[in-house]
Amino acid sequence: MRPVSRTPDPPAPVKYKFATKPRPHQVPALKFLARNRGGGLQVPMRWGKTKIAIDWANIMHLKHGAKRVLVVCPVSVIGVWENEVPKHTPDGIDLEWRITNYEAVYDRQYVKRGRRRSWYPIPNVRLEDYAADIIIVDESHNIGNPEAVTSKMLYHLGRRARFRLIMTGTMFHRKPFYVFGQARFMDPTIYGSNFGAFKKRVAVFGGYGGYEIIRYQNLKWMVGKLKPYVWIEKYVPPGEPVINELRYDLTGRGAATYLEMEKESMIEVAGEDIKSTIPITRHLRLQQIASGWVRTQKGYHRVGNDALKLGMDRMQTYMDNDVHKVVVGCRFIPELYDAAYAARAAGYSVILLYGRIPKGRERTRRWQAFANTSRPTVFVAQMQTAKEGIDLSAADTMLFWGLSESYVTHDQFTRRIERYGDTRTLVYDYMIPRRTRTEVTYAALQEKEDVARFIVERPELVEAITSKEDT
């Protein structure tokens, strides 16, 4: 990979026909990466990084014969890539894609030492055998620390690839040192291979033992070394709302409990039989199980944590991309507390609003506190409670942890983050477990229908959505 300047690109020998029209601001970034045969994208959320990366990979296929692409990203973004790749790939492009998460780039080798078994990381042989021509690292601040296991394994894979691309909202990730690991993946000659020497170059150390950072220095030098390799952009031009479908699979106990209720209309939890023979009631119960919970007469019981894992990953992604305010929509009370836990784990303050909060001053005080605070904050609300009379437009990002059965409730809640004359690009993220009744609810809401009517009038579509034949 070679650094280039932002000068007009000469006509390409291969004409690329976009499957979806790019926004004007995306074109120069794409040309930069095409000339550079890779590099980095440091741009904010809502900027369309995924589309640019897909178009770039397709161009590398046409111009340089690349055949296989490996995308490494957080768990919460896998579903986004799965949706975006076919949408933005033109007809006639024969490019193979493989999308995985960071934890999958290495395997564990267990060794018995005395009475104990310990493990050490080894490269993922399946990814090595895949022999990707292109490797795209999304949210690349995750490999900022070059001494982390994930970083080392990705460097190993990256050396085998012809073209490499990193994508992030901020390479600094609040730590200038973390630029080193990302730059090393792109091209190890940018800062060299000595991490210790790099740290001494950009920081002054002192204090006890000489390990305390007194101040940072030479940051202009650091950024200047990156500029030939990375397209850096801070401005987010206004555009249509961005809708991301964060799809994931139910696993373990959660999957088993869901299948049992779906097939038998009855499960046993904490010694109590729970029946749901009426279709609409069973649909509601299945959505609750998909979120990881079951309600009994004694209260709620956890049966799975797949939604919680995805939610924690997404909250961390928001924080890493400097999204300071987020609204989370929930349907069930346990979802509310899971969302609050995930937000706090990522470093956010949390404000809750649900049915038990008294109407009037207390509810007003909470949404006004969300509007006025300068701290990174997540507003977690039951959609039925927060659909009217409150202004959450301090946020431009909304995460749906659960979904309402009513289209009117869903539509009213989504508008809580809108402003009159809005010029921002709003983001709506949906957490959707695959082949579950949550997918049915999402399909109904996208067609602007209430779920009960959708289930009764379109049973064949419900069956097609929830079919397990391809699992």
Q: Domain check: are 314 and 451 in the same one?
A: yes
Q: Kindly report, residue by residue over 172-216, the tens digit of the pLDDT.
A: 767 899 999 999 999 999 999 899 999 999 999 998 878 889 999
pLDDT at 439 over 80: yes
Q: What is the mean pLDDT of the chain?
A: 90
* pLDDT over 70, % of the chain: 96
Q: Give the orientation angle of helix 306-320 with respect to helix 75-88, to 10 degrees.
A: 80
- The two tokens of residue 104 are 């999958």
- How confident is the model over 346-358, as a mean pLDDT? 95
Provide the pLDDT for residue 68. 97
Count Cα atoms within 13 angstroms, Cβ side, for 235: 7
Count Cα atoms within 13 angstroms, Cβ side, for 52: 29
The residues, ordered by sequence, that sit 6+ positions from 296 with a Cβ below 8 Å of its Cβ are: 269, 270, 272, 274
Confidence of residue 9 (pLDDT cuts 50, 70, 90): very low
Q: Domain check: are 192 and 59 in the same one?
A: yes
Residue where a domain stops, chosen among 174, 209, 232: 232
CATH number, position 449: 3.40.50.300
Return the H-helix or E-strand segment holding 335. helix 333-345
Q: How far apart are CA 67 and CA 174, in angstroms?
A: 36
The reply to whether 264 falls in a domain is: no
Provide the pLDDT for residue 42. 92
- The two tokens of residue 386 are 């927060």
pLDDT at 370 over 60: yes
The reply to whether 283 falls in a domain is: no
The reply to whether 8 falls in a domain is: no
| Cβ count within 10 A of residue 256 | 14
The reply to whether 267 falls in a domain is: no
pLDDT at 470 over 60: no
Q: Domain check: are 225 and 313 in the same one?
A: no
Provide the pLDDT for residue 13. 56
Q: Domain check: are 218 and 313 in the same one?
A: no
Domain that holds residue 138: 26-232
Q: Domain check: are 440 and 335 in the same one?
A: yes
Residue where a domain stops, chosen among 232, 263, 287: 232
Q: Domain check: are 215 and 317 in the same one?
A: no
Q: Domain check: are 316 and 223 in the same one?
A: no
- How confident is the model over 56-64, as a mean pLDDT? 96
- How do strand 242-248 and strand 427-433 relate by DSSP bridges? parallel
pLDDT at 105 over 90: yes
Structural domain tally of the chain? 2
- The string of DSSP letters for 353-385 reads E-TTSPTTHHHHHHHHHHHH--S-EEEEEEHHH
Return the H-helix or E-strand segment holding 260. helix 252-264
The beta strands (E) that lie in 85-138 are given as: 96-101, 106-113, 116-123, 134-138
Q: Domain check: are 171 and 48 in the same one?
A: yes
The reply to whether 300 falls in a domain is: no
Q: How big is the chain by its Cα radius of gyration, in Å?
A: 24
- How confident is the model over 363-370, as a mean pLDDT? 95
- How confident is the model over 422-430, as a mean pLDDT? 91
The reply to whether 421 falls in a domain is: yes
Q: CA angle, corner 164, sides to 66 and 32, nearest 5?
A: 90
pTM of the model: 0.84
The residue among 116 and 200 whose pLDDT is bigger is: 200
Provide the pLDDT for residue 15. 83
Q: How far apart are CA 35 and CA 22, in angstroms?
A: 18
Confidence of residue 460 (pLDDT cuts 50, 70, 90): confident
Provide the pLDDT for residue 118. 84
Provide the pLDDT for residue 173. 66
| Phi (first) and psi of residue 175, to 5 degrees | -140, 105
* Residue written as token pair 């000595």: 194
- How confident is the model over 64-69, as a mean pLDDT? 96
* 3 state DSSP class of 10: coil
Least confident of 6-15, 189-198, 233-242: 6-15
The reply to whether 58 falls in a domain is: yes
Q: How far apart are CA 360 and CA 468, in angstroms?
A: 47
The reply to whether 211 falls in a domain is: yes
Query: CA quadruple 348, 351, 354, 357: dihedral positive or negative?
Result: positive
- The string of DSSP letters for 237-258 reads ---SPEEEEEEE---HHHHHHH
Residue type, 25: H
Return the bridge partners of 378, or none: 326, 350
